[in-house]
């Protein structure tokens, strides 16, 4: 898609600049905060975030098709985080680049369709049912498009290459009592792990990992490579496939939904 950053601005075919009057002074960002707009369209989001009557803004807004509007250069404070704290610091507007993604957030089921707070209807394939990290019950969440996820990943990569970024956070993590964005429909943990835990790239590890198959009826999976290790999950079942991550004293560290240690005799390598 050919995105790049020049002079604190994104450049690319899908990027437009629309200046917001809602901003502070210059700063050096070290974090990225991800949001949803809780609205149906780019147009309504940009209108709000550039309105002088609203004390809100962000650096970027990402449309459903992955196109981007930048509202302020990355070295200017914008107003997206509000009352917030994380890792011992308060007021994340002063540390972070704000990325708003066009997404409705929570949807309510009504018959065979799903409705946003504004009443717009969505069909089943635009909805995921999931438990938010700050909540305990399942709700319906508007999906993000692949183009949006891909674009946000690209932008985060670019920002990491151009600024000294320490954290990629959700608004829900810096203001957990007030906010639920970007919510469980957005692969925040995946993006964060991929970009910030370099040198321990989980995707690459998984590709290189050997696979095996359980050849015992029930196989305990433990926290340590010996029988004193406490179980970390229900026993594995016969023929269950596992990834072999490590070997120690005849025990294999395997990956299923969880990681833990099993006695190697009961794993047949494939
Ligand atoms: Zn937000």
Contact of 266 with 214, CB cutoff 8 Å: yes
pTM above 0.85, yes or no: no
Cα–ligand 1 centroid distance for 169 (angstroms): 11
Cα–ligand 1 centroid distance for 207 (angstroms): 35
Cα–ligand 1 centroid distance for 171 (angstroms): 5
Residue 247 pLDDT: 81
Cα–ligand 1 centroid distance for 36 (angstroms): 6
Residue 208 pLDDT: 55
Cα–ligand 1 centroid distance for 77 (angstroms): 15
Cα–ligand 1 centroid distance for 78 (angstroms): 12
Residue 238 pLDDT: 87
Cα–ligand 1 centroid distance for 85 (angstroms): 13
Cα–ligand 1 centroid distance for 251 (angstroms): 46
Cα–ligand 1 centroid distance for 181 (angstroms): 5
Residue 1 pLDDT: 59
pLDDT 10s digit of each residue in the chain, 270 long? Answer: 589 999 999 999 999 999 999 999 999 999 999 999 999 999 999 999 999 999 999 999 999 999 999 999 999 999 999 999 999 999 999 999 999 999 999 999 999 999 999 899 999 999 999 999 999 999 999 999 999 999 999 999 999 999 999 999 999 999 999 999 999 999 999 999 999 975 444 444 444 568 888 888 889 998 888 888 888 888 898 888 888 888 877 888 888 765 678 888 788 877
Residue 216 pLDDT: 86
Cα–ligand 1 centroid distance for 141 (angstroms): 15
Q: How do residues 11-37 score in pLDDT, each as one tens digit?
A: 999 999 999 999 999 999 999 999 999
Residue 58 pLDDT: 98
């Amino acid at each position: 898609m050919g995105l790049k950053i020049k002079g604190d601005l994104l450049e690319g075919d899908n990027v437009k600049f629309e200046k917001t009057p809602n901003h502070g002074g210059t700063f050096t960002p070290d974090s990225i905060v991800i949001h949803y707009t809780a609205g149906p369209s780019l147009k309504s989001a940009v209108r709000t975030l550039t309105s002088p009557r609203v004390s809100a803004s962000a650096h970027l807004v990402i449309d459903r098709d992955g196109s981007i509007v930048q509202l302020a250069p990355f070295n200017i404070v914008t107003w997206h985080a509000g009352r917030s704290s994380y890792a011992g610091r308060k007021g994340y507007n002063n540390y972070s680049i704000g990325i708003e993604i066009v997404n409705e957030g929570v949807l309510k089921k009504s018959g065979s369709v799903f409705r946003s707070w504004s009443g717009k209807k969505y069909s089943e394939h635009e909805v995921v049912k999931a438990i938010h990290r700050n909540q305990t019950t399942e709700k319906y969440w508007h999906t993000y498009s692949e183009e949006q996820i891909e674009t946000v990943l690209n932008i985060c990569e670019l920002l990491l290459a151009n600024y000294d970024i320490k954290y990629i956070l959700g608004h829900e993590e810096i203001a957990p009592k007030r906010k639920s964005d970007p919510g469980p429909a957005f692969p925040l943990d995946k993006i964060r792990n991929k970009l910030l835990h370099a040198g321990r790239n989980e995707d690459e590890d998984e590709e290189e990992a050997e696979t095996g198959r359980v050849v015992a009826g029930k196989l305990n999976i433990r926290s340590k490579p010996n029988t004193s290790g406490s179980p970390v999950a229900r026993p594995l079942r016969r023929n269950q496939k596992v990834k072999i991550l490590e070997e120690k004293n005849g025990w294999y560290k395997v990956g299923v939904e969880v990681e833990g240690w099993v006695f190697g005799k009961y794993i047949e390598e494939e």
